[in-house]
Structure 1
């Protein structure tokens, strides 16, 4: 154990190093070490401080875990009021603001002979969080407070100390003896999503939006809860300051940055109102790609002297304005709820709303997802509801205003018959299988049982079948599919390959050339890859990636179609529920008929072959016993049974005395095994699984094959932002051809991230995790270096 002196020196060294890493990560956006190295340093510091508690100081990076819960918050009087900003919603409001500024500064106006004097403005996004005041004395954080009513706020000192990117001690030199920093504490989008996932997992109510989550987290009386939340600060100015500061607003923010306080990475200087408007447009375009929520842009006169000259109105400065984006949340009336029928027969409630402008778009419909969501929201027809729209996301109802519910409000009722075909509507059942038992519960989805006899399902199935990522039949848009189904020309995907010139040319909008083009496109789709064909079939819960996995692993449609659920689960990322969906699809007589018709009408699958070498002899006897989910037989017990008996038949036929010879197999487990295999159906099922494993070449006695490894096999890549020399799909295809899996989200398992212009939260998450990030130029160089490497 080091002496107190050497421990003190090492503690000081670790604190300095960790503070430097935090500064580079949060303020400069230039991570200097991987997360693992940072965690090692932090763990060492924590251990040393535990050994020497007398050396712990309030500024130590370890002191962000929260302390004892408070009974209530104290009050803080702001020496310099925290004023609100005036708002601009249209370009003319911004022009008027600039005019008032120039008039207040007595600057020359424009005329026929010139544009007049231009004011310099600082520009930065308006974060959607909670405004706070941070007081530093002699460089040490001594107090944190909310804005409150602008004059008086709440003392949240214990909570702000837990926010990771707020320095507990200022960096560098030159800071005033007393410095009050103003800023916004917010929750990044990725952190908000993770927090809500944890809330749902624990049965707690999810937060409505990141702003509510940030505000709720900061106002916890128990600071340990605040410490567990992913909060960050962005400094935007100063209040009280006992000392010299730079003479421009941007200069002050850069000084705060040099002292360890994070400022906006989008901060810019604009010369004149035209530059301000261009900045507003630019930020609006990249809004959805930013890793945090914003609701507008803040413009401030950059010169501090000019700010003083302009002064204040009653509750807002004359030298600053917030130019808001169109609202993403609005209040309107729920006029009715209708039900749409999807490709798999799912009956989805859709809200019909009194039209309202949300984020610059007129919204009259919103998704309600399913009846469980209707119940969770508690909405009734006639309610006043809150509607949200973000980017291109379908508008959704966030909640209702209960006090505005009318006396004649009506409950939302699921129809008993399909609104399209009149077939019965049934609620789905969820079957959970574990350790030899099945538990059945009601699902959240209601389904029309009419299947392809229901025109809505048939249309959606055909639209999916011909889509670009499926059979890729160019020219078969939604409207044309509707015509084909409505006229009775197409009753299944196979009928597409029987269409004649005479039938197509009679469709609305078709002439000789368009008819020929469509028939040529249908003909050109007759040779899909196995993966595309599997995806095109529209098997429930089987997306593109699962279709690719099935095609790559099992190699043929015949093998996929016959695979038992218990064999499918040997493939990575295929659980038992999805395995049962796949098996049920191919067991269905109608589906088998359609597939037979497709092949009879000239659809020839490409890239069919043998079982992938990766899965040859991949099963073990112990694994098979374990996957049978026999009560009281865990993986260790399954291994001991396999070691003792060596074959499935020997285990099935083992008597009580044989089982007592198995090392450390309990009487309860032995009895459970015997009871399980005494049921002929269980023994038959186990032998059936083994027979198929043997037939497919997956059995433990099958021949192992040497895979010709692809250079990126086993790696997971993520593409984000815009690629300029190729499409994202092309980039994905080239990576997959080299053996990589291309994922849609970043995690600790991600190997590499390719980030183009406009990269947002995924890039931020990659930097947070210390992952390798490539720009497009380096990515292309990497691909070029790997070209030709791979299969022999």
Structure 2
């Protein structure tokens, strides 16, 4: 992507003219890659930045604008692979809005223009999510589908009629009667998110590279030369407008949608009619939160004046309608350089490759790493170290490498090389192996002493879903189990700092000797004292006036650095506030309920749901250990896979040593029976969604299971009640569709107190 500096609004000098010419040429190339070859070399957000900059220059210097400027085009010229066909009525682009201030400016301008042109007529706004797919223009004559044309340049598109006819959502003949003599229906072809994932799985299983994203998948599918190939792809469509409509006597966009739906055309379920800008902004917020719950991928929201007469009054510029705009959400997909592929060892021994990237901002945060899942996925994605790659970050999910930017390889082939998965554990050197025959994932079998696995297990013990020890985070977990993890190469160690350091560092031939970790096993965790942590140090980069020097030195982690003045001790080293908090929280964690202790043990597949079910059914670790696999599998929320994993875990000798040391330290191994808690929810399945004032998420689940109920995470036909708090999401909609009884927080409390009978009181 070209770096384009901001320029002042003055007469363009030679440098600005050159920048403009280069930028226009670059945008033309991206338009061709996107619209004609379906192989973009940058992400949509980066293209948006380029076109935004180009339009800014043209606004400030209109004398530069040429007739062939890419800002004056809609889409791109049709490819030569399909016959060119003219649209009856031209297709326009939409003005892009990237901020709330831009939205407000556009909204106020449209309202003011309508007031001037139409008086004080009320304005209604139709809003709908912006589908990230491929625009299509369908032509129906007297209700018969006669042609399907891509957008192309807005005037001429590609004839893909044969391929369009294979898409089940598109009727070949409209239902009902009263069809116009001629009707252009505009819509978006897309591949539903769920089907996209399953389709990529099939490609990978067949040894083919996966598709980068649903938009490329839809575009490539529709442009298959063989319609049978298109028919194999799970494509769908939603309508988003009409073009030529001879004889269609409707007065608004939403009336048109209702009519098209009656005729059997697929209309988006996410469309609403709104009255004010505040309502529009609420819609933007809601669908940004829900964007990954929808049927398809979206990249924003389209806002339109609903009334056709008002649309005609506002009219068009040469490129965009003045009555519609697209609000773009912050990007979740960008491109960056893949610098390396390394491996991470998880707490159950799974070795996962991850991408080391040039820093890039995506979904509002800086990203330097992204997951690659396993060695087979790396191979299937076809990425090479040194590639430019597409990455995506969906919400809070770990960023993922989608695939290479193939067009960016030209001329760089000698810089790229394939990734080779290691044969031995990168943390302890043990030979890797699958846990069972046929597994794709490779694991380190040295579970007890592998430092990477131990670090991850100790960090997991402190996590919110396990024993919830706030002071036991990533850095503290590593300092306890593998303090030399970030030890730099010898040439980067600041030896002058070593000589003057008050940190107690042992040496072998002038080189720092590796530390012996405080924890060699999680069994000793609850015996720790502050004194045990006195000499633990970690490696930190030396900074001068806040700037990194590239040199590293040891730094005490759990205790403060002693202070000297002229060789005299002024303040002795002492435990930090975080260290004192850690020791205190470890002591409190001993009284956590049994289900949390089960989660903390890192038994494969055993998370909070299964742990609650086990604790409720057995009440003690001893009884769980004595239970047979078939008995465990019969518990609701456990099943045969988890049951087998539990039996495997209890068959390992060193796991028993962990349990014994924890019990000796006072960690709870059984729940105290509380006869005072009535079993009011025996046999009932309850789902909590949204935020409750009187309960945290964990507290609500504990309240349900303590009364004999099952706290489920998803709504199904077997759900008895859904408790709806503030900001309840898609689970509420599913409960409504299934006819499941929904309760508010007050009714939830009545249910806990007295069971279903309490709801009738």
- The TM-score, its normalising length taken from structure 2, stands at 0.66
The match for 2:700 is 731
Could you tell me how far apart the structure 2 residues matched to 1:412 and 1:160 are? 42
Could you tell me how far apart the structure 2 residues matched to 1:198 and 1:293 are? 20
Is the contact between residue 332 and residue 393 of structure 2 (CA under 8 Å) also seen in structure 1?
A: yes
Is the contact between residue 755 and residue 773 of structure 1 (CA under 8 Å) also seen in structure 2?
A: no
Pick from 422, 427, 430: which aligns with 2:432? 427
SS of the aligned residue for 1:234 comes to strand
1:445 deviation in Å?
Answer: 1.8
Pick from 201, 207, 215: which aligns with 1:211? 215
1:712 deviation in Å?
Answer: 5.2
The match for 2:420 is 413
Which runs of structure 2 are paired with 1:276-675 in the superposition (5 Å)? 280-281=284-285, 283-403=287-407, 404=409, 406-415=413-422, 418-420=425-427, 423-431=428-436, 440-441=437-438, 443-447=440-444, 449=446, 451-485=447-481, 486=483, 488-500=517-529, 502-503=531-532, 507-508=558-559, 517-562=581-626, 578-607=642-671
Could you tell me how far apart the structure 1 residues matched to 2:469 and 2:417 are? 44
1:518 deviation in Å?
Answer: 4.2
| Cα deviation 1:708-754 (Å, max 9, x = unaligned) | 997552x6554444456543333333443454444444556656655
Which runs of structure 2 are paired with 1:757-768 in the superposition (5 Å)? 758=727, 762=731
Could you tell me how far apart the structure 2 residues matched to 1:95 and 1:130 are? 28
| Cα deviation 1:635-688 (Å, max 9, x = unaligned) | xxxxxxxxxxxxxxxxxxxxxxxxxxxxxxxxxxxxxxxxxxxxxxxxxxxxxx
Is the contact between residue 449 and residue 521 of structure 2 (CA under 8 Å) also seen in structure 1?
A: no
1:235 deviation in Å?
Answer: 2.8
1:355 deviation in Å?
Answer: 1.9
The match for 2:541 is none
Which segment drifts farther, 201-210 or 732-741?
Answer: 201-210
Could you tell me how far apart the structure 2 residues matched to 1:471 and 1:88 are? 45
> Is the aligned partner of 1:145 residue 2:175?
no
Could you tell me how far apart the structure 2 residues matched to 1:746 and 1:95 are? 39
SS of the aligned residue for 1:426 comes to coil
With over 3 angstroms needed to count, the CA separation of the structure-2 counterparts of 1:752 and 1:103, relative to structure 1, is closer
Which segment drifts farther, 590-599 or 190-199?
Answer: 190-199
1:581 deviation in Å?
Answer: 3.8
With over 3 angstroms needed to count, the CA separation of the structure-2 counterparts of 1:601 and 1:502, relative to structure 1, is same
Could you tell me how far apart the structure 2 residues matched to 1:754 and 1:134 are? 44
1:397 deviation in Å?
Answer: 0.6
Could you tell me how far apart the structure 2 residues matched to 1:517 and 1:386 are? 42
With over 3 angstroms needed to count, the CA separation of the structure-2 counterparts of 1:304 and 1:481, relative to structure 1, is same
SS of the aligned residue for 1:399 comes to strand
Could you tell me how far apart the structure 2 residues matched to 1:568 and 1:518 are? 35
Q: Determine which structure has the larger helix proportion and give its number.
A: 1
Could you tell me how far apart the structure 2 residues matched to 1:200 and 1:129 are? 22
Which segment drifts farther, 529-538 or 366-375?
Answer: 529-538
Could you tell me how far apart the structure 1 residues matched to 2:743 and 2:701 are? 13
| Cα deviation 1:68-108 (Å, max 9, x = unaligned) | xxxx9988653123333343335565567568768987959
Is the contact between residue 299 and residue 321 of structure 1 (CA under 8 Å) also seen in structure 2?
A: yes
Could you tell me how far apart the structure 1 residues matched to 2:121 and 2:367 are? 42
Give 5+ residue unaligned stretches, structure 1. 1-71, 109-115, 432-439, 610-707
Could you tell me how far apart the structure 2 residues matched to 1:197 and 1:734 are? 39
> Is the aligned partner of 1:771 residue 2:735?
no
Is the contact between residue 343 and residue 351 of structure 2 (CA under 8 Å) also seen in structure 1?
A: yes
With over 3 angstroms needed to count, the CA separation of the structure-2 counterparts of 1:128 and 1:488, relative to structure 1, is same
With over 3 angstroms needed to count, the CA separation of the structure-2 counterparts of 1:783 and 1:529, relative to structure 1, is same
With over 3 angstroms needed to count, the CA separation of the structure-2 counterparts of 1:497 and 1:275, relative to structure 1, is closer
Is the contact between residue 372 and residue 378 of structure 2 (CA under 8 Å) also seen in structure 1?
A: yes
| Cα deviation 1:168-204 (Å, max 9, x = unaligned) | 6456x87755443323344444454566567778888
With over 3 angstroms needed to count, the CA separation of the structure-2 counterparts of 1:448 and 1:187, relative to structure 1, is same
With over 3 angstroms needed to count, the CA separation of the structure-2 counterparts of 1:741 and 1:194, relative to structure 1, is farther
With over 3 angstroms needed to count, the CA separation of the structure-2 counterparts of 1:764 and 1:179, relative to structure 1, is farther
| Cα deviation 1:23-44 (Å, max 9, x = unaligned) | xxxxxxxxxxxxxxxxxxxxxx
With over 3 angstroms needed to count, the CA separation of the structure-2 counterparts of 1:170 and 1:133, relative to structure 1, is farther
Q: Give the superposed CA RMSD.
A: 4.5
SS of the aligned residue for 2:662 comes to helix
Could you tell me how far apart the structure 2 residues matched to 1:755 and 1:168 are? 43
With over 3 angstroms needed to count, the CA separation of the structure-2 counterparts of 1:458 and 1:94, relative to structure 1, is same
SS of the aligned residue for 1:287 comes to coil
- Equivalences, count: 596
Could you tell me how far apart the structure 2 residues matched to 1:97 and 1:430 are? 58
With over 3 angstroms needed to count, the CA separation of the structure-2 counterparts of 1:257 and 1:77, relative to structure 1, is same
1:128 deviation in Å?
Answer: 1.8
Could you tell me how far apart the structure 2 residues matched to 1:503 and 1:585 are? 30
Is the contact between residue 337 and residue 349 of structure 1 (CA under 8 Å) also seen in structure 2?
A: yes
The match for 2:272 is 267
Could you tell me how far apart the structure 1 residues matched to 2:681 and 2:198 are? 33
Which runs of structure 2 are paired with 1:671-682 in the superposition (5 Å)? none
SS of the aligned residue for 2:603 comes to coil
With over 3 angstroms needed to count, the CA separation of the structure-2 counterparts of 1:558 and 1:286, relative to structure 1, is closer
Which segment drifts farther, 378-387 or 481-490?
Answer: 481-490
With over 3 angstroms needed to count, the CA separation of the structure-2 counterparts of 1:337 and 1:320, relative to structure 1, is same
SS of the aligned residue for 1:445 comes to coil
Is the contact between residue 145 and residue 171 of structure 2 (CA under 8 Å) also seen in structure 1?
A: no
Which segment drifts farther, 532-541 or 440-449?
Answer: 440-449
Could you tell me how far apart the structure 2 residues matched to 1:164 and 1:730 are? 45
SS of the aligned residue for 1:83 comes to coil
- The TM-score, its normalising length taken from structure 1, stands at 0.63
The match for 2:93 is 84
SS of the aligned residue for 1:561 comes to helix
| Cα deviation 1:443-476 (Å, max 9, x = unaligned) | 4224262x34343322221121232332233443
Could you tell me how far apart the structure 1 residues matched to 2:382 and 2:228 are? 32
SS of the aligned residue for 2:431 comes to strand
Could you tell me how far apart the structure 2 residues matched to 1:742 and 1:207 are? 37
With over 3 angstroms needed to count, the CA separation of the structure-2 counterparts of 1:117 and 1:418, relative to structure 1, is farther
Could you tell me how far apart the structure 2 residues matched to 1:552 and 1:106 are? 66
Give 5+ residue unaligned stretches, structure 2. 1-80, 484-515, 536-557, 561-573, 757-761
SS of the aligned residue for 2:441 comes to strand
Could you tell me how far apart the structure 2 residues matched to 1:338 and 1:496 are? 30
With over 3 angstroms needed to count, the CA separation of the structure-2 counterparts of 1:233 and 1:448, relative to structure 1, is same
Could you tell me how far apart the structure 1 residues matched to 2:223 and 2:102 are? 35
1:537 deviation in Å?
Answer: 0.8
Is the contact between residue 337 and residue 350 of structure 1 (CA under 8 Å) also seen in structure 2?
A: yes
| Cα deviation 1:283-318 (Å, max 9, x = unaligned) | 434434444321112233445345334544455434
Could you tell me how far apart the structure 1 residues matched to 2:206 and 2:682 are? 37
